[in-house]
Amino acid sequence: MSVAVGIPYVCFFIILSVVGIIGNVIVIYAIAGDRNMRKSVMNILLLNLAVADLANLIFTIPEWIPPVFFGSTDWLFPSFLCPVCRYLECVFLFASISTQMIVCIERYIAIVLPMQARQLCSRRNVLITVLVDWIFVACFASPYAVWHSVKTTTCSNTVGKSTWWQGYKLTEFLAFYFVPCFIITVVYTKVAKCLWCKDPTLQCETRSCLDNKSSSRSSDALRTRRNVVKMLIACVAVYFVCYSPIQVIFLSKAVLNVTIHPPYDFILLMNALAMTCSASNPLLYTLFSQKFRRRLRDVLYCPSDVENETKTYYSINNTSIVGPRASFN
């Protein structure tokens, strides 16, 4: 890679890593550091997503440092870190994808099935679901730890051409790309239809059947839910945009038996896209959530004032929300 091409890549990867790590650390601190925010089921899931994205960014650093800085695919770290980094990188990537699917289902229950939401989406059930999810992805990604090692100075897969590995990669494609894509598309379509087309609050407001105070409160609740759904749809859209090119290359090889040899610059670009997915979620929270912007401002500028601030409690969709330390939903 020439210097003219290499320098922009160096800057791009460094910016993505710094922005993504700082952004996810702030999200983790904003939620984990506030007891009231941790009461929200939605915030627990967003905290889990931020942890997965942060860890994914950290464990991809050994992958891009050699090619970006030295123009080499040689593994420059201790040999035992090769399977460890590949394994953990996949674990946190799978956890991020599955968490977004869990968030999607939680939003569906909370908005479309509000009568069942209190029972089904309790903190206990969500914590159990998150724990089971981490156990599942840790087990599913185990082949990356078993079948990766340093071979002729390169961290590579030792069974990459075997039928077994191709079957595993096809299962991975279905479990963490196709099925999530299908479920999220169907579920968010129903949620959007409920919020924008058939929401009883909208019908009631057009008939002037609510008093001014109730109407204003219902409008705020509806607007908040819509913003959350917009934010989550944006997060999912970014994921599928970032990972679709990689999946197309895999499908062309595994299903159509068409081998593609992309240029080295393209491979680096695909890695940058993958990092963009993990780095962009905190920016999307800030873009779509006014409450998160308020909490972010409190974390960055006035922590002492926040502690002394009077807390005003109110409820949206049976979820307790506290003044400036409000839930993201």
State which residues form the domain around 106.
Answer: 3-325
In this structure, are residues 150 and 80 in contact, taking their beta carbons and an 8 Å threshold? Answer: no
Percent of the chain with pLDDT over 90: 23
Q: What letter would DSSP give residue 35? A: T
CATH code at 288?
Answer: 1.20.1070.10
Residue 135 has pLDDT above 80, yes or no: yes
Instruction: Read off the pLDDT of residues 63-102 as tens digits, 9 standing for 90 and up.
Output: 888 888 887 788 989 999 999 999 999 999 999 999 989 9
Non-local (6+) Cβ contacts of 2 within 8 A are none
In terms of C-beta distances under 8 Å and separation of at least 24 residues, what long-range contacts does 124-129 make, across chains too? Answer: 126/41, 126/44, 126/45, 126/102, 127/44, 129/102
pLDDT band, very low/low/confident/very high, at 205 (cuts 50, 70, 90): very low
pLDDT band, very low/low/confident/very high, at 221 (cuts 50, 70, 90): low
Residue 217 has pLDDT above 70, yes or no: no
Average pLDDT (265-285) is 81
Give me the pLDDT at residue 136, please: 97
Non-local (6+) Cβ contacts of 283 within 8 A are 19, 23
Give me the pLDDT at residue 98, please: 93
User: Among all chains, which residue has been given the structure tokens 């590995």?
Assistant: 165
Residue 2 has pLDDT above 70, yes or no: no
**Count of domains in the chain?**
1
Q: What letter would DSSP give residue 162? A: S
Query: In the Cβ-directed half-sphere of 201, how many Cα atoms lie within 13 Å?
Result: 18
Give me the pLDDT at residue 284, please: 80
Residue 312 has pLDDT above 60, yes or no: no
CA dihedral 244→246→247→250, nearest 10 degrees, is 160
3-state helix, strand, coil in the chain (%, to 5): 75, 5, 20
Distances in Å between the Cα of 146 and the Cα atoms of 6, 149, 157, 159, 276 are 33, 8, 9, 10, 28
CA nearest neighbour of 280 among 22, 74, 44: 22
- Structure-block tokens of residue 213: 């105070």
Give me the pLDDT at residue 5, please: 66
Instruction: Read off the pLDDT of residues 224-261 as tens digits, 9 standing for 90 and up.
Output: 777 777 777 887 788 788 888 877 777 776 666 666 67
